Structure 1
Amino acid sequence: MELPTAPAGKGCVPWQGLLLAVLLSTFWNPPTTAQLTIESMPTNVAEGKDVIFLVRNLPGNLAAYGWYKGDKVDHHQQIASYKIGPVEITPGPVYSGRETIYSNGSLLFRNVTQEDTGYYTLQVINTSYQGEVGTGQLRVYQPVAQPSIQASNTTVTEHQDPVVLTCLTNDTGISIQWFFNNQSLQLTERMKLSQDNSTLTIDPIRREDAGDYQCEVSNLVSASKSDLLRLDVKYDPTLGSSGLSAGAIGGIVIGVLAGVALIAALVYFLYIRKTGGASVQHDLTEHKPSASNHSQGHSDNSPNKMDEVTYSSLNFNVQESEKPTSASPPPPATETVYSEVKKK
């Protein structure tokens, strides 16, 4: 709403004179128990938006108050003044038409610009001609523009040249964040960011790095993401299906062969240790005695035929472990055990 202009007349408007008269008293009068404070809402505002200065702890019995641009009361920097009962609002020298004063002392700014950044001062006067001053700060930021991504190469072969992604922006006083496949990028040991986060280097590149990349720039009042950049990573045919280098595969093969040789040597050692102390031979021979030895004058047609006896022998050869001696080793000892089996 536009501030009304005070009626023309000779000299100062009485309540404006009151403001001037109270100006000196502002500096020596003791403050009220609750300190007058000014708060901007929001604290940080984007250019082109609206902001309001809220007044806290206003004293009672108000007669008038005025707003000034800057951190002190300067009538050359007055935005507007407000007289209570009857209400009379008068614009000041720096009034731009975008400011509105309310009855509770609040000041509304519409369509703020970066030139509006700075301090603002409110002076209040009560009916006892006592004044109090409060100061607030306005921070106006320009919204960030959409950034873009520049890549050293968008189609690469794994384990070869590194990839460098750069977030391009003309904005200052910003923060930069990277995204991969619509998720916040989780850095690995192969990734490195520059000091201001504007450059992302991936070295060496792997197939799992393929996907969509974005960068986001932001300040205290706005944020903007770049368009997606697709990074394609090709398979290197010179590598195994596992994606390992030739040196790594060779190392694995050598390790496996060494392990097999070690196991074979261990098995052989255990076998020699088990069989080197004693060697047992089992010679099972079946002996059938002649008829003359067992018939004892009886023919095969005799009704009282004797039982047939079969002899078996089991030979054990015990071989002692070799001992270093100049004499030739004695022959192995042989023990024969006979068994008798009767057949009817």
Structure 2
Amino acid sequence: MRVSVLSVLVTTWLPSAFGLTIDISPRSPRPGQNVLLNVSDIPQSFLLVEWYKGQSPSASDQIISIQVNGSPVSRNLLGFHEVDLFSNGSLQIRNLQNLHKGFYTVSVQMREGLLQAKADLILDDSTSGLSAGAIAGICVGVIAAVALIGVSVYVYIRKNSSGAGH
């Protein structure tokens, strides 16, 4: 009897003691990619999972919610048509855009209370592996090379045309 009561208490309170976490995969997604906001340590006994855009749960910032039976309660309240909510509470955003970057909050309602976690989704906006300074340096080098070739051709033509007239 004591072992089963202890087991129930540990199962019920262990996630509350350590809290939820959100793992973003990939860590630095690029626009156009899919990203998964994976909820870890979610209790199996949740009643409702809700996702919000922002650092705090607010009805006006709600994206989507799901009940314990896996059916969505509300969907796309912010016009996020590219989201999927999985039965484990994780959120997937398809075709990532700049409007998707920022904080996300997940709220998990259980009989015992409420758990929340936050994550900051940062997009990798770089278009290539080169920095802006490197690209500018390459442009200046190409322009200088073209100018040098142009001056060399001009001097060569002028030298040959002046020597041909004598």
Could you tell me the TM-score, scaled by structure 2's length? Answer: 0.67
**Is residue 19–residue 115 contact of structure 2 (8 Å, CA) maintained in 1?**
no
Is 1:43 paired with 2:33? Answer: no
Match for residue 115 of structure 1? Answer: 99
Is 1:99 paired with 2:89? Answer: no
Q: Secondary structure at the match of 1:119?
A: strand
CA distance in 1, matches of 2:147, 2:94: 49
Residue in structure 2 matching 1:33, options 9, 17, 39: 17
Match for residue 4 of structure 2? Answer: none
Structure 2 unaligned residues grouped into runs of 5+: 1-14, 149-166
Match for residue 142 of structure 1? Answer: 125
CA distance in 1, matches of 2:18, 2:77: 31
C-alpha displacement of 1:129: 5.0
Structure 1 unaligned residues grouped into runs of 5+: 1-30, 157-344
Match for residue 60 of structure 1? Answer: 44
Give the AA of the match of 1:66.
Answer: E
Q: Secondary structure at the match of 1:76?
A: helix
Output one character per residue of 1:232-263: Cα deviation in whole Å (capped at 9) or x when no partner: xxxxxxxxxxxxxxxxxxxxxxxxxxxxxxxx
C-alpha displacement of 1:79: 0.2
Give the AA of the match of 1:119.
Answer: F
**Is residue 114–residue 141 contact of structure 1 (8 Å, CA) maintained in 2?**
no
CA distance in 1, matches of 2:108, 2:52: 12
CA distance in 2, matches of 1:118, 1:86: 26
CA distance in 2, matches of 1:141, 1:51: 12
**Is residue 51–residue 106 contact of structure 2 (8 Å, CA) maintained in 1?**
yes
C-alpha displacement of 1:84: 1.4
CA distance in 1, matches of 2:73, 2:29: 27
Match for residue 59 of structure 2? Answer: 75
Q: Summarize the Cα distance change of 1:48–1:55 in structure 2 as closer, same or farther, 3 Å threshold.
A: same
Higher strand share goes to which structure?
1
Q: Which is greater in Rg?
A: 1
Give the AA of the match of 1:56.
Answer: S
C-alpha displacement of 1:88: 3.5
Q: Summarize the Cα distance change of 1:48–1:131 in structure 2 as closer, same or farther, 3 Å threshold.
A: same
**Is residue 77–residue 92 contact of structure 1 (8 Å, CA) maintained in 2?**
no
C-alpha displacement of 1:154: 6.0
CA distance in 2, matches of 1:86, 1:54: 16
Tell me how large the CA RMSD over aligned residues is: 2.6
Q: Secondary structure at the match of 1:140?
A: coil
Q: Summarize the Cα distance change of 1:153–1:96 in structure 2 as closer, same or farther, 3 Å threshold.
A: same
Q: Secondary structure at the match of 2:50?
A: strand
Could you tell me the TM-score, scaled by structure 1's length? Answer: 0.34
Q: Percent identity?
A: 22
How many pairs are equivalent? 127
Q: Summarize the Cα distance change of 1:45–1:67 in structure 2 as closer, same or farther, 3 Å threshold.
A: same
Give the AA of the match of 2:125.
Answer: Q
Match for residue 130 of structure 1? Answer: 113
C-alpha displacement of 1:39: 1.4
CA distance in 2, matches of 1:88, 1:57: 21
Describe how 1:302-341 pairs up with structure 2 within 5 A.
Answer: none
CA distance in 1, matches of 2:117, 2:24: 12
**Is residue 47–residue 143 contact of structure 1 (8 Å, CA) maintained in 2?**
no
